[in-house]
Amino acid sequence: MKIRSVDEFEFIERIKGRLPKLKNAALGIGDDCAVLPYTQDKYLLATADMLIEGVHFDLSRVSMYKVGRKALAVSLSDIAAMGGVPKYCIVSVGVPQAMAAASLDDFYSGLLKLASDFSVELIGGDTNRSEIFICDVCVIGEVEKGFLARRDGAKTGDSIFVTGSLGGSIKGKQYDFIPRVREARTLVGSFKIHSMIDISDGLSLDLYHITDSSKVGAIIYDDCVPVSQNTDSKKEALSAGEDFELLFTAPSDITEEALSKKLGMPVKKIGEIVSKAEGVKIGKEKGRKAELKKRGFKHF
């Protein structure tokens, strides 16, 4: 059997299925970060993301500076999704021998500028020869135990919210986005956030990550999804991915106005969590609903 005939998420489940029960970690595979024991009041968070030339970026279209920035930004976004603060990064690169040394310097300039903006320290990595340019960034962070936001905490009756707007990230946001660490910290510090994820694969797929792991259903109000001015396609807003906005659920007495005011940016209520038996549906707030297609970015 070829790996492409297995769904990316089934593949991850296969690995998970081979592992013995976790001895120490509070949470292993399956959320935006692993959650590990740390101090009496805090957990340690760890996450890794890889970017590959020809799969994630084309060096004839984007600078190595932007690739370096994004390589760190995607992992900072995963720390944000848990409600945490990023602290350290470990950066590994596979470099073609013909690559100009200045290009690699550009990669680190982009990465280190963002690291400095978020007070993240680079503490190590690995360097290898490769046919194409590959980079992998592991970020370690921390979160107060009471502030941890997981994918599996959504409750029936919760409202579903999203920060900012969705779709059209291919026009530039996929490289230039600011990881929502500040916003996530304000959310977990000021509101009872039941579940949270960052939108990397697309709203539909990432919502399913929340509903599947929380064992609930959801209704999305089609007309409330905030569509970016970089696209006029609702379909794209639902499934294009790389928005790196926060998708979260919270008790229904929390309003989008209160959230937007506290965060100083637009937050939209886009639906509600219902029982698992009701499925995951989309439709006008007061109209007929259809099943939400599980559409978004998957590697295979």
User: In this chain, which of 1, 3, 15, 101 binds ligand ADP, going by CB under 6 A?
Assistant: 15
Q: What are the helix and strand counts (H, E) for the chain?
A: 8, 12
Cα(255)–Cα(261) distance, rounded to whole angstroms?
10
Helix boundaries (H) for 225-295:
234-239, 256-263
Nearest 5°: phi and psi at 228?
A: -65, 155
CA 294, 297, 299, 300: dihedral to nearest 10 degrees? 30
Map the footprint of Mg ion across residues 71-130, applying CB under 5 A: 78
Question: By C-beta, is 63 or 213 nearer to ligand ADP?
Answer: 213
The residue among 194 and 209 lying less far from ligand ADP, judged by its C-beta, is 209
The helix/strand/coil state of 60 is coil
Q: Which does 31 bind (CB under 5 to 8 A by kind): ligand ADP, Mg ion, none?
A: ligand ADP
- Does 242 interact with Mg ion (rule: CB under 5 A)? no
Identify residue 63 by its one-letter amino acid code.
Answer: S
Partner from Mg ion, ligand ADP, none contacting 15, C-beta within 5 to 8 A by type: ligand ADP
Nearest alpha-carbon partner for 149 in 189, 192, 183, 196: 196
Rank residues 32 and 158 by Cβ distance to ligand ADP and give the closer one: 32
Residue 132 touching ligand ADP (CB under 6 A): no
Which residue is listed with tokens 């609930």? 216
Q: Which of 7, 10, 12, 124 binds ligand ADP (CB under 6 A)?
A: 12
Please tell me whether residue 201 binds Mg ion under the rule CB under 5 A.
Answer: no
* Residue 264 C-beta: closest distance to ligand ADP, Å: 25
Q: Should residue 32 be labelled a site residue for Mg ion when binding is judged by CB under 5 A? A: yes
Please state, as a whole number, how many other Cβ atoms lie within 10 Å of the Cβ of residue 135.
Answer: 26
**Considering only 24-32, 110-118, 246-254, 266-274, which stretch makes contact with ligand ADP by CB under 6 A?**
24-32
Q: Is 174 in the site for ligand ADP (CB under 6 A)?
A: no
Q: Please tell me the distance from the alpha carbon of residue 11 to that of residue 3, in angstroms, as a whole number.
A: 8
- What is the contact surface with ligand ADP in residues (CB under 6 A)? 12, 15, 29-32, 49, 78, 200-201
